[in-house]
Amino acid sequence: MAKRQVTYGKCFFCGKAFAKNAITRHLGKCLARQEVIARESGKPAQLFHLLVEGRHETGYWMHIELPASRTLADLDNFLRAIWLECCGHLSAFTIGNTRFEMDTGMVDAMWKDFFGPSQPVKSMQTKLYSALAVGDSFLHEYDFGTTTELKLKVVGEREGVPSPKGVRVLARNYAPVYPCVKCGKPATQFYVYEYPLDGYCQEHAEQHASWEEGFLPIVNSPRTGECAYAGPYDKTLAFEETYTGN
Break the chain into its structural domains and give their ranges.
8-173, 178-224
Write down the pTM of the prediction: 0.91
Model confidence pLDDT, tens digit, residues 70-125: 999 999 999 999 999 999 999 999 999 999 997 655 545 445 555 455 566 899 99
Count of Cβ atoms closer than 10 Å to residue 113 Cβ = 9
CATH topology for the 8-173 domain = 3.10.290
pLDDT tier at 1, thresholds 50, 70, 90: very low
From 82-86, 100-104, 131-135, 214-218, the region with the lowest mean pLDDT: 100-104
pLDDT tier at 44, thresholds 50, 70, 90: very high
Model confidence pLDDT, tens digit, residues 159-185: 999 999 999 999 999 999 999 999 999
Give Cα separations from 236 to 26, 88, 225, 233 (angstroms): 24, 20, 21, 9
